[in-house]
Amino acid sequence: MGIILVKAFIISGLALIISYFGIKFIMKHMKQFLIILGTLTFCTCVGFDIYFSKFYQKNETAIKVSEEIKDELTKVSEKFNIHDYVIKNLKQKDGVNMTVVSEIDTALYEIINVYRKILNDPKYMPLITSANDYIGHSKNSAHYHGKAIDIRVKDLDKATKKNIIDGIKVTLGNNYTVLHEDVGTANEHLHVQLKRS
């Protein structure tokens, strides 16, 4: 017990002495201390800002493309058949069943046009790898209700792929879930699903 007390005294004493000289040192060099502290704070803030801005940066290309498509959609005539347009302007993998709900047809119209605008190719036909089909999806998958489609993104370069995915997310908005699945594999695709309401 006695030894522990002595140790505690020594440690407290040492801490006091170090604090005393530390504070004295800081007081003496207050100006330099503040400059260093200020510089460190500034650099940390700038560092965080640069680091996190990557995550919050708005994709201007995606926003522009999305606004154009929304605008074009308001101008299509009432006789315009979106389902026919979608079927004619998409490629489908063998076995794909394109029986989907009208909200998915609208989403596909927008998706086709995101691809075409970003790729600057007015005839580009994106490939649907799955829609209302009966193999490979989980039991309660929205695919079986015509409320989800998978679309290929694996053959695009990195920057184009990012613009297309961002463009689709911004254009489709909050009523759809867009998931980038099986990244880096032969089956890499976007899963686009109508949200359950």
**Binding status of residue 116 toward Zn ion by CB under 5 A:** no
* Amino acid (one-letter) located at 30: M
**Binding status of residue 147 toward Zn ion by CB under 5 A:** no
Compute the half-sphere exposure of residue 81: CA atoms within 13 Å on the CB side of its CA: 4
Least distance (Å) between residue 122 CB and Zn ion: 27
Taking residues 153 to 192 in sequence order and writing x for each that binds Zn ion by CB under 5 A, - otherwise, the string is: --------------------------------------x-
Are the C-beta atoms of 181 and 141 separated by less than 8 Å? no
Are the C-beta atoms of 33 and 26 separated by less than 8 Å? yes
Residue 68 or 188: the one with the smaller Cβ distance to Zn ion is 188
Least distance (Å) between residue 53 CB and Zn ion: 32
CA distance 99 to 101: 7
Residue 65 or 190: the one with the smaller Cβ distance to Zn ion is 190
Q: 105, 133, 150, 166: which one contacts Zn ion (CB under 5 A)?
A: 150
Residue 65 or 86: the one with the smaller Cβ distance to Zn ion is 86
Compute the half-sphere exposure of residue 193: CA atoms within 13 Å on the CB side of its CA: 15
Residue 149 or 170: the one with the smaller Cβ distance to Zn ion is 149
Least distance (Å) between residue 125 CB and Zn ion: 19
Using CB atoms, what's the residue nearest to Zn ion? 191
* Amino acid (one-letter) located at 190: L
Per-residue CA distances from 155 to 27, 116, 160 (Å) = 63, 15, 10
Residue (of 185, 197, 113, 98) closest to 150 by Cα position:
98
Residue 169 or 191: the one with the smaller Cβ distance to Zn ion is 191
Question: Binding residues for Zn ion, per CB under 5 A?
Answer: 150, 191
